[in-house]
Chains A and B, each alone.
Chain A
Amino acid sequence: MLPWQVLATSSLLGAFAFMGGGYAVLFVAAMLSERRPLTRIAYACYAAQCACLLTVLWISPLEVIWKIFLIGSCAAYAVIPPITWRYLRRLHGA
């Protein structure tokens, strides 16, 4: 890895996880408060996460196996908030 690629890849991975966190928090906040605009911002966060992923796939010399891992991980980030949300509703509701 070239020196700049180390910092760029790592920063993108940080932004990737951060946006995933933002998506999760805003998604749940939106569901709790039933505010539509919040949901849109949440999805925008997830879109930003996908953009980070694409940039890593494009510029980073990470090994293919890690890139595949990141794609799977990005998919997991998409479904964790809604699944956890639904699960928590059921758990608390029953």
Chain B
Amino acid sequence: MFARDPLFWRAGAVSSLIVTLVVLAMLTTDTLRVITAGGQNVPTYTVINHQIGYEYVTDRNEYMPTIGGQEPLFGKIYSPAQAEALVRHGKLVIQSRACLDCHTMFGTGAYYAPDLTKAWLDPAWEHLWMPMTGTHTRADAIAAFLQHPEQYPTWTREMPNLHLTLDEAQAVVAYLKWVSAVNTNGFPYGFKTAAAGGT
């Protein structure tokens, strides 16, 4: 019987690998197009100059980011090159401080601290940290918190002071703002910004 012949199954293994790899290659090409900054799902870095929201879209039955009018970050509008450099710096800070070994982003990382996918939009900045840090914008509140998290503890699991400079903290803020505008197929579900009445 052919099924008892190892060679039959070897052929099966090789062909299943070839078929799935071809499909994977095609999907990879398409996906990379969609997820490049400026692609269909991932905004260009200059999105940090805009207002960002997160709303339920009824006909798609999922939550989607919205990109609104101009909203300077730290009182500044960034050129494409400046925006990219700032966000790049933010990524380096996030990696060098091992942020995703406590936090998650897009749900990937460690599960000890909150997910950062929509951290920029979190209503807690308005409700908790803006009063605590005595700042007037969300961006300043995040930057102040990131530089001295130990001064603004809100819970038993505290964030350690990772010695971020002001530049580094602002770069992380820019990064979080950019990330919050990525279309993540409706993840996280039910997230409400302060403007939408979230707590």
Contacts and interface: CB of A to CB of B under 8 A. Distances in A.
Interface of A: 87, 90-91, 94
A77 to B, nearest CB: 21
A90 B3 CA distance: 10
A90 B5 CA distance: 11
B81 interface: no
Q: Is the interface of A mostly helix, strand, loop or mixed?
A: helix
Contacts of B4: 90-91, 94
Interface string B4-43: 1000000000000000000000000000000000000000
Contacts of B1: 90
A91 B4 CA distance: 6
A79 to B, nearest CB: 15
Classify chain B's interface size: under 10
A87 B4 CA distance: 8
Contacts of A87: 3
Nearest to B1: A90
A94 B3 CA distance: 12
5 closest Cβ contacts across the A-B interface? Answer: A91-B4, A94-B4, A90-B4, A90-B1, A87-B3
Contacts of B3: 87
A90 B4 CA distance: 8
Interface string B71-87: 00000000000000000
A91 to B, nearest CB: 6
A90 B1 CA distance: 9
A2 B156 CA distance: 30
5 contacts: A87-B3, A90-B1, A90-B4, A91-B4, A94-B4
A56 B4 CA distance: 38
A19 B4 CA distance: 29
A28 B18 CA distance: 33
A22 to B, nearest CB: 27
A37 B1 CA distance: 33
B56 to A, nearest CB: 14
A94 B4 CA distance: 9
A9 to B, nearest CB: 15
A87 B9 CA distance: 13
A87 B3 CA distance: 8
A94 B5 CA distance: 11
Nearest to B3: A87
Contacts of A90: 1, 4
Contacts of A91: 4
A63 to B, nearest CB: 10
A91 B1 CA distance: 10
